[in-house]
Structure 1
Amino acid sequence: MKLKTLLLAATVVAGTLSLSAQAADTRLIRFGYGLNQDSNQGRAAQVFADEVARLSDGKMKIRAIGAAALGSDIQMQQALIGGAQEMMVGSTATLVGITPEMAMWDTPFLFNSGEEADKVLDGRAGQMLIDKLEEKGLVGLVYWENGFRNLTNSQRPVTRLEDFDGLKLRVMQNNVFLETFQRLGANAVPLPFSELFTALETKTVDGQENPYNTILSSKFYEVQKYLSITNHVYSPWIVTASKKWWDSLSADERDVLMQAAIASRDFERQDTRKEADEALAQLKADGMQVNEVAPEEVERMRETIKPVNEQIKQDVGAAVWQAVQNQLKAIRQGTDKPRG
């Protein structure tokens, strides 16, 4: 009986040591993001985690932590630079204070479609900006999609440039957005998002601009009649890693993370666009009057806000600005060649 007890104890100890060895062999990676687990960010983070586990045969494990539990985008970016956190996904706009060239993606009316954005972000121009992160302590892997912003208001459809005249529009507390809509003829009013629904309901402002998903989830259709598809700004997210941590990885580990990031990117874009299409259909069903702005009117708007773009060009540098514009021209002429 005593021998059996000793054998059982030895088996338990051996099993515990084996599990400890397995745990020690597993690389745990914290991956932070701002939205909730059931959001497009959360779903794509899970795809990333699953792919990392699969490609590494379980030797690398992503711990996806959402709802800004690790801090805001800016706080997480600083944690990555300091080496206190491994990975995250967040807005390119919040990287502008670290890498000014990222302001390129804030340019109004830059892209005509998601497909154009994909080619530029995944191509030479997008890589040029990713490369600039390394000198600031970050490694960029891939761009995800937040989406296009569109216009709603309670007064009239916006089908041409002149329809902006006199509209009181809430905009983000951001100089680019303020100047853009002022130059288009609107009365741009900076307001916190938390105050927006009440401002629309009380007619303090006539309208606002946001992606379809936000318009739906915030129930703006209850206080807004018109939705004009302007696609005036395309907002990307970017998957980044701490350079201090990245430099400690083997080439194989980096390859696993890059392959998994590409898989998550492709899933996330498809998922986000599907969600946007469903949101637009629901907004129509909820009674919003929807109109598309014709390409020739978009071009007139581009011409009107040229001074805004000139300032962005100065901020990001002529080389970055021209690289993006050259690639867009090639895409629109059908002469763009994939990177690689």
Structure 2
Amino acid sequence: MSSMSKFRKLAGISALALAGLTAASVVNADTWRYAHEEYEGDVQDVFAYKFKEYIEDHSDHELKIYRFGELGESSDIMEQTQAGILQFVNQSPGFTGALIPEAQIFFIPYLMPTDMDTVVEFFRKSEAINKMFPKLYADHGLKLLKMYPEGEMVVTADSPITKPADFDGKKIRVMTNPLLSATYEAFGATPTPLPWGEVYGALQTNMIQGQENPIFWIQSGGLYEVSPNLTFTHHGWFTTAMMANQDFYQGLSDKDKKLVQDASDYAFDKIVKHIDGLADKALAKIEKASDKVTVTDLNEEQMGAFKAKAPQVEKKFIEMTGDSGKKLLDQFKEDLKNVQSD
């Protein structure tokens, strides 16, 4: 099935799925519902099904999972979770950043390392991730259960990117995230916020000239078909968060709260194994599928020109988030320092 056909099919079933979901919430209180932002077999889908596996193996509860498009876009599934229609949601800070400005910290370029071992260790041990973020999410009716990495961000465009000047005149799709827009402004591009369902068509019609995503998502979504020049800028990792409706979670028994926490820990352990080597496999699939694809891997000198833009994005983050963001950023850097020195 082509990428555009996927979008049409998913859009067609989303209204029916939402109607059924709302009805099910009345009929069967023991069936929990969980929506995420990706396709079958993608990282969030694997995480969700590992969470489901643990829940159903260790309790009488059932878990119904909804993939991208079945209940709408990212903003829709967040609204449904806050309203209590969904019990669980997986959403990246790229979208949550509009609700929780501090979550945009992941879009400060070159803040995060890109080697997997360090990244995974950071998510396991970070005080910012595991102690500070849950309080921020709770203020918006959300119980943060787990943040986890999906993969290094890769830029695709209508021509190879080796320096900031190569972004001149290019409209680059960004999530609805002010700091990500600031990053691409700093890089020299024109950031263009678009929901995911419109990205393939916008690239195909040259409404936009590029976008960023982990390589597995570029492969899964077929983005290389319409945006064939891939650049590894090494500016960060795609991060996502799995959370629950706060009222739902607080209403659980202590036994079920532990079940949910244990299930999210189990899914995290499984997903970090799953993503090990995933990028290489996805890139191999892309190169096999298309002879139009180019791959550019920036060297240290080339990265330096982009890294020089990072301080202005960091400054923008602090302007957006105030003292709360500054404290989070300081702790973030301290946590990174600690894991890199281990």
Q: TM-score, normalised by structure 2?
A: 0.76
Over 3 Å counting, the alpha-carbon distance change for 1:140 and 1:178 in structure 2 is closer
**2: CA distance, partners of 1:67 / 1:39:** 10
**2: CA distance, partners of 1:141 / 1:226:** 36
Q: Deviations 1:42-80 (Å, cap 9, x if unpaired)? A: 232222111112223xx2222223234344333333333
Please state if 1:227 is matched with 2:233: no
Please state if 1:49 is matched with 2:52: yes
Please state if 1:319 is matched with 2:327: yes
Instruction: Look up the match of 1:18.
Output: none
**1: CA distance, partners of 2:71 / 2:127:** 32
Secondary structure at 2:263 match in 1? helix
Query: Do the aligned partners of 2:87 and 2:244 also contact (CA within 8 Å) in 1?
Result: yes
Instruction: Look up the match of 1:278.
Output: 281
Query: Do the aligned partners of 1:32 and 1:65 also contact (CA within 8 Å) in 2?
Result: yes
Over 3 Å counting, the alpha-carbon distance change for 1:68 and 1:166 in structure 2 is closer
Q: Offset at 1:322?
A: 0.5
Single out whichever of 218-227 and 304-313 deviates more from structure 2. 218-227
**2: CA distance, partners of 1:269 / 1:157:** 29
Secondary structure at 1:266 match in 2? helix
**2: CA distance, partners of 1:165 / 1:268:** 34
Please state if 1:197 is matched with 2:197: no
Instruction: Look up the match of 2:65.
Output: 64
Please state if 1:142 is matched with 2:146: yes
Single out whichever of 99-108 and 115-124 deviates more from structure 2. 115-124
Which runs of no fewer than 5 residues in structure 2 stay unpaired? Answer: 1-26
Q: Offset at 1:112?
A: 1.8
Question: 1:280-319, aligned counterparts within 5 Å?
Answer: 280-285=283-288, 286-287=290-291, 288-316=293-321, 317-319=325-327
Amino acid at match of 2:295: V
Query: Do the aligned partners of 1:108 and 1:180 also contact (CA within 8 Å) in 2?
Result: yes
For the pair shown, which has the larger CA radius of gyration, 1 or 2?
1
**2: CA distance, partners of 1:323 / 1:134:** 19
Instruction: Look up the match of 2:156.
Output: 152
Match of 1:210 among 213, 228, 237: 213
Over 3 Å counting, the alpha-carbon distance change for 1:97 and 1:125 in structure 2 is same
Please state if 1:240 is matched with 2:223: no
Single out whichever of 250-259 and 64-73 deviates more from structure 2. 64-73
Secondary structure at 1:136 match in 2? coil
Query: Do the aligned partners of 2:75 and 2:95 also contact (CA within 8 Å) in 1?
Result: yes
How much identity, in percent, do the aligned residues show?
17
Over 3 Å counting, the alpha-carbon distance change for 1:206 and 1:62 in structure 2 is closer
Q: Deviations 1:140-197 (Å, cap 9, x if unpaired)? A: 1112334322123454452xx456364635232654344323333x342527414333
Q: Deviations 1:74-125 (Å, cap 9, x if unpaired)? A: 3333333333331121222222233221111222222122333333333211
Q: Offset at 1:328?
A: 1.4
How many aligned positions are there? 303
Secondary structure at 1:298 match in 2? helix
Q: Offset at 1:255?
A: 1.1
Amino acid at match of 1:196: A
Query: Do the aligned partners of 2:30 and 2:61 also contact (CA within 8 Å) in 1?
Result: yes
Over 3 Å counting, the alpha-carbon distance change for 1:42 and 1:226 in structure 2 is closer
Match of 1:255 among 252, 258, 273: 258
Query: Do the aligned partners of 1:146 and 1:272 also contact (CA within 8 Å) in 2?
Result: yes
Instruction: Look up the match of 2:129.
Output: 126
Secondary structure at 2:149 match in 1? strand
Q: Deviations 1:306-340 (Å, cap 9, x if unpaired)? A: 111111123232101111011112223x14xxxxx
Which runs of no fewer than 5 residues in structure 1 stay unpaired? Answer: 1-23, 336-340
Over 3 Å counting, the alpha-carbon distance change for 1:98 and 1:176 in structure 2 is closer
Q: Deviations 1:9-39 (Å, cap 9, x if unpaired)? A: xxxxxxxxxxxxxxx9983211222333443
Q: TM-score, normalised by structure 1?
A: 0.77
**2: CA distance, partners of 1:255 / 1:43:** 21
**2: CA distance, partners of 1:86 / 1:34:** 15
**2: CA distance, partners of 1:227 / 1:38:** 22
Amino acid at match of 1:141: L
**2: CA distance, partners of 1:169 / 1:273:** 32
Query: Do the aligned partners of 1:170 and 1:196 also contact (CA within 8 Å) in 2?
Result: no
